[in-house]
Structure 1
Amino acid sequence: MFAAVSLGAKGMSLGTVWTAVVQYDPGLTTHQIIHELRLPRVIGAAAIGGAFAVAGALMQGVTRNPLADAGVLGINAGATLVVALSFAFMPNIPYSGLMALSFLGAVLSTLLIFALGAAAPGGLTPLRLTVAGAVVAAMLHSLSSGVAIYYNLSQDLAFWYAGGVSGVKWMHLKLLVPIILLTIAGASLLGKSISLVSLGEEAASNLGVRTQRVRWMAITAAVILAGISVSAVGAIGFVGLVIPHIARKLVGVDYRRIIPTSALLGAVLLVLADLCARMVNPPKELAIGVMVALVGVPFFLYLARQEGRSL
């Protein structure tokens, strides 16, 4: 995070960064750049990276689907559609209202995905959940594009499609960070139960776990994390897909360790992705979603191939 704050179109020493943090002088231009632009951006990237990663870990654990992720399953698409509608019909909506509506969109898309997946004969399976998510995501993205074109919002929504943390300010962090930290803490308390659910519903039930209750609590936490993250930085995909797999390789299959490890690794990934997006062609920036996709797409194809072999 200190490297991300110090590097950019205008390079600064770590000493300058430290002084700006502990002894902020609003009269110095370097301190203003650090305090008003780079610090909230980097803190936002860390918080939201952790949120996306934990959301993915929760979805993978309770659905027993290694391809589950808020982006892949279409949850982000629901939040993005509501953001597009908000821009069209409520252009002056406050940030807190936008977050609430984004969360509502994520909830509705989640319910639709699970309803479609469970409607087929044989009930909900990991493969059907992935297919339902892909279908719903395609539909919602099409609707978002239609709203953007009809109401001339293409330029405004370009940020949300590509994703980026450049617009994160201190006023956003005051609302975002407490919600993200409290939700991740609550999800960590479910770690033992999610570990048992990930072994199979019958085994978990025999051990006294209320599987349906745990599943819906975990999905609710994932939807909160994904919904508020999309409202802040747009629909950045693949963080929740890649990071939980790396966490499992490092700490094993116990979700009491996977959840906090995913939060840390997700924060690292998004901070690095944002730094790379700023450093590729300064002072211009690439979309952070592009940098994450360079890692996420090959990893998704690899997982899909492994999953196809297991089927």
Structure 2
Amino acid sequence: MRLNRSICTYLWFITAIAGLLLTIFLAISFGAKGMTLGTVWLAVFQYDPSITNHQIVHELRLPRVLGAAITGMAFAVAGAIMQGVTRNPLADSGILGVNAGSAFAVCLCFAFMPGLSYWGLIIFSFMGAALTTSFIVLLGSSTRGGLTSIRLTIAGAVVAAILHSLSTGVAIYFELSQDLAFWYAGGVAGVNWEHLRILTPIVLITILWAISMGRPITFMSLGDETAANLGIHTKLIRILGLIAAVILAGSSVAVAGSISFVGLVVPHIARRALGVDYRLLIPFSALLGGILLVWADFASRMVNPPQEFAIGAMVAMVGVPFFLYLARKERRDL
């Protein structure tokens, strides 16, 4: 039985890896300008800057698609971690207001420090996400009975609405509406190789760190009392887990804007396939998150070419019904 389960796990991972690679290759191949698969292959592995099609693939499509894959991984793992350490099936960096905190920090950077480097933008995005997360947890814990899934979700929604209103006000006052439209709608059209050189190591190292916390997070998802009886320092793991989620969400928002629901939908799908072992669930969520956001970006380009649809709206078409389903299920379980 255990052997069969191990084989199924390997098959799931092999399928997800193959699916991610195929999705990336297809997303690079199709666009406003059609290209043969052979041209794409040569542009990726034998790049010739003198060929126009190679330039389109290497300088525009490839960084965009890789950016979608990396940010999708980050949002998915952030959601998986938050669901595990808070025991909240509705947890997601967008729903709980973390993305809104990052976006508000980016808005302030545009208003008061327009020439800020990308590194500086990431740092401020981290700070916005960290402060927002801390405030939401404190707000949700301030009432009698402590922090619950519903209170955490409500607190996140309230804080996200406030921050969104403040960001809109700042954008209008400083005439930043055009610049901030990208961050609110979400998108990876502006991702370049410089962004990827900074973003990729941050995301991959943080995901590896999250995987190393997989065992204690698995026990915490079963309840704090159970985890404590098994020798897990629940408060420390919760803090470290939230720090990892903030790093992943903050860096991704700085690149792709505020994209919600990836971290909500993907971990539930991964949990259905592999169970609740976070040592497996975290890397599998990363693969599925990459696939989801690459497909969402591809769909946003192909719905009405050459015009583009907001990638955040594409994800929301799947995420909103899924969120309503989970919210209804959570209410029935109370």
Q: TM-score range by the shorter chain?
A: over 0.9
Deviation readout 1:154-208 (Å, 9 max, x if unpaired):
1110000000000000000000000000000000000010000000000100000
CA positional deviation for 1:14: 1.4
The aligned amino acid for 1:54 is V
User: Is 1:177 aligned to 2:179, yes or no?
Assistant: no
| Alpha-carbon separation, structure 2, partners of 1:221 and 1:126 | 20
| Alpha-carbon separation, structure 2, partners of 1:15 and 1:210 | 53
Percent of aligned positions with the same letter in both sequences?
66
| Alpha-carbon separation, structure 2, partners of 1:170 and 1:251 | 34
Q: How does 1:97-108 map to 2 (within 5 A)?
A: 97-108=120-131
The aligned amino acid for 1:20 is A
CA positional deviation for 1:260: 0.4
User: Is 1:66 aligned to 2:89, yes or no?
Assistant: yes
Q: Report what 1:198 is aligned to.
A: 221
Deviation readout 1:127-174 (Å, 9 max, x if unpaired):
111111011001100100000011110111000000000000000000
**What SS does the aligned partner of 1:208 have?**
coil
CA positional deviation for 1:125: 1.1
| Alpha-carbon separation, structure 2, partners of 1:243 and 1:290 | 16
| Alpha-carbon separation, structure 2, partners of 1:260 and 1:307 | 26
CA positional deviation for 1:123: 1.1
| Aligned mate of 2:168, from 120, 145, 168 | 145
Q: Report what 1:239 is aligned to.
A: 262
User: Is 1:296 aligned to 2:319, yes or no?
Assistant: yes
CA positional deviation for 1:301: 0.5
The aligned amino acid for 1:94 is S
CA positional deviation for 1:19: 0.3
User: Is 1:86 aligned to 2:109, yes or no?
Assistant: yes
The aligned amino acid for 1:95 is Y
| Alpha-carbon separation, structure 1, partners of 2:329 and 2:148 | 17
User: Is 1:40 aligned to 2:63, yes or no?
Assistant: yes
User: Is 1:155 aligned to 2:211, yes or no?
Assistant: no
Q: Report what 2:158 is aligned to.
A: 135
Structure 2: 5+ residue runs without aligned partners?
A: 1-23
Q: Report what 1:211 is aligned to.
A: 234
Q: Report what 2:243 is aligned to.
A: 220
Q: Report what 2:19 is aligned to.
A: none
| Alpha-carbon separation, structure 1, partners of 2:88 and 2:72 | 21
CA positional deviation for 1:232: 0.4
State the TM-score, normalizing by the size of structure 2: 0.93
| Alpha-carbon separation, structure 2, partners of 1:23 and 1:57 | 37
| Alpha-carbon separation, structure 1, partners of 2:32 and 2:249 | 30
Structure 1: 5+ residue runs without aligned partners?
A: none
CA positional deviation for 1:256: 0.7
Deviation readout 1:40-65 (Å, 9 max, x if unpaired):
00001000000000000000001000
The aligned amino acid for 2:149 is P
| 4+ long deviations beyond 3 Å | none
CA positional deviation for 1:288: 0.4
| Alpha-carbon separation, structure 2, partners of 1:283 and 1:150 | 32
| Alpha-carbon separation, structure 2, partners of 1:34 and 1:293 | 28
| Alpha-carbon separation, structure 1, partners of 2:313 and 2:91 | 20
**What SS does the aligned partner of 1:188 have?**
helix
| Alpha-carbon separation, structure 1, partners of 2:219 and 2:69 | 29
| Alpha-carbon separation, structure 1, partners of 2:317 and 2:241 | 28
